[in-house]
Amino acid sequence: MKTITIEEVKQNGWLVFEAIVGSRAYGLNTSTSDTDIRGVFILPKHLYYGLEYTGQVNNETNDIVYYELKRFMELLAKNNPNIMEMLSIPDNCILFKDKLIDEIKVELFLSKLCKKTFANYAYTQIKKAYGLEKKVLNPVEETRKSVLDFCFVYQDRDAIPLLEFLKQSLLSQEKVGLSAISHLRDCYNLFYSDENIYHGIIRKEEANDVHLSSIPKGQKPIAMMYFNKDAYSSYCKKYKEYWDWVAKRNDERYKTTISHGKGYDSKNMMHVFRLLLMAKEIATDSSINVFRNDREFLLSIKAGEFEYDDLVIKAEKLKDELPAFYQKANLPEEPNIEDVDDLLVKIRMAYYLR
């Protein structure tokens, strides 16, 4: 399947709209803000009608994304917040606009569906903010624990960590032999010999399970060992998630989180309120106010001037108010798909007749 690139779209003149979106369009940008660009393109006939339809292209960092006209209209019809904003981008953020795009009016797409899409998107940002809070407050040590850290030995009516047992008994794990105990999940008889006849509890440090040995007849176990495999699996998942996050995190946002000391991603929480306030304005004003007049309030959230729990309470209150606003709103329940379809065909035919 042919892969279309950002450069190919621009070089072939398929681009019909391009604009700066995100914080710069909202008027919420700071000196460290990225520049995100979104656009719309129209495939030539042979690529649109053929088997190789491409609905979206982006660069490696995903800060430039172009949507093919059909995909763009589909997302508008679903009242996708990020796509709806593209219809009301401030003029100073528009980099290129074909006159065909003027045919796409925001009024055709505004509907009561925005209550759900904007609010749901806002709450995904709360989850992201909370997810960062957990990572900030509960860091995972870079040195990875091994299977041995999750093994325990039953001794004197108590369970003690395996590593402590080995240290106290002056035993080496490499000379230990294990055999499974029937009907006792993850429990093992532990044998020991200085003659190197056993394979050890683990064969290598990065092992993900214990290793069993062949036990000669007549050998008696020195202890019973339990491997908490569920806890080990949970730890491995947490370890991977945390260090993947460290590798991919936006360091500027992380530094902001650390500097205000509140433990949550304040940029995410700022967008929670931006989205909820925009949802309210759609109901009351029948418009999408991309450039924010409440800039100071939103930036104060980003600066960490509020406690996380207080922000969640405020967000819940704002969300609970939305149904009443939308009940009174002079908006259709959802966009008229037939009208959207007619407009899509009209624009594409006009483009191909050039």
Q: Which residues contact 220 (CB under 8 A, 6 or more apart)?
A: 191
Task: Return the axis-axis angle of helices 113-137 and 308-328, rounded to nearest 10°.
Answer: 170
Examine the domain organization and report whether 64 and 157 are in the same domain: no
pLDDT at 140 over 80: no
pTM above 0.85, yes or no: no
| pLDDT at position 44 | 94
Quick one: CA torsion of 92, 98, 103, 105, rounded to 10 degrees? Answer: -20
**Boundary residue ending a domain (233, 257, 275):** 233
Boundaries of domain holding 44: 1-105+335-354
Closest CA to 30 of 259, 300, 249: 300
Q: Which pLDDT band, with edges at 50, 70 and 90, does 133 fall under?
A: very low
**Boundary residue ending a domain (233, 264, 289):** 233
Per-residue pLDDT tens digits for 235-249: 999 888 777 766 665
pLDDT at 135 over 80: no
Q: Which pLDDT band, with edges at 50, 70 and 90, does 278 fall under?
A: very high
Examine the domain organization and report whether 97 and 2 are in the same domain: yes
**Complete edge-to-edge strand list for the sheet that includes strand 187-192:** 158-161, 151-155, 223-227, 187-192, 176-180
Residue 86 belongs to some domain of the structure: yes
Total domain count, the chain? 2
Residue 319 belongs to some domain of the structure: no
Examine the domain organization and report whether 4 and 82 are in the same domain: yes
Examine the domain organization and report whether 80 and 171 are in the same domain: no
Closest CA to 75 of 49, 104, 37, 100: 104
Q: Which pLDDT band, with edges at 50, 70 and 90, does 3 fall under?
A: confident
Examine the domain organization and report whether 152 and 76 are in the same domain: no
Residue 23 belongs to some domain of the structure: yes
Examine the domain organization and report whether 1 and 85 are in the same domain: yes
Q: Which pLDDT band, with edges at 50, 70 and 90, does 259 fall under?
A: very low
Residue 166 belongs to some domain of the structure: yes
pLDDT at 159 over 50: yes
Residue 259 belongs to some domain of the structure: no
CA contacts within 13 A on the Cβ side of 162:
26
**Boundary residue ending a domain (233, 254, 289):** 233
Residue 289 belongs to some domain of the structure: no
Examine the domain organization and report whether 98 and 11 are in the same domain: yes
Per-residue pLDDT tens digits for 41-90: 999 999 998 888 899 999 988 899 999 999 999 999 999 999 999 999 99
**SS3 for the chain, per residue?**
CCCCCHHHHHHCCCEEEEEEECHHHHCCCCCCCCCEEEEEECCCHHHHCCCCCCCEEECCCCCEEEEEHHHHHHHHHCCCHHHHHHHHCCHHHEEEECHHHHHCCHHHCCCCHHHHHHHHHHHHHHHHHHHHHHHHHCCCCCCCCCHHHHEEEEECCEEEEHHHHHHHHCCCHHHEEEEECCCCCCEEEEEECCCCCCCCCCCCCCCCCCCCCCCCCCCCCCEEEEECHHHHHHHHHHHHHHHHHHHHCCHHHHHHHHHHCCCCCHHHHHHHHHHHHHHHHHHHHCCCCCCCCCHHHHHHHHCCCCCHHHHHHHHHHHHHHHHHHHHHCCCCCCCCHHHHHHHHHHHHHHHHCC
Residue 204 belongs to some domain of the structure: yes
Q: Which pLDDT band, with edges at 50, 70 and 90, does 137 fall under?
A: very low
Examine the domain organization and report whether 151 and 97 are in the same domain: no
Residue 244 belongs to some domain of the structure: no
pLDDT at 261 over 70: no
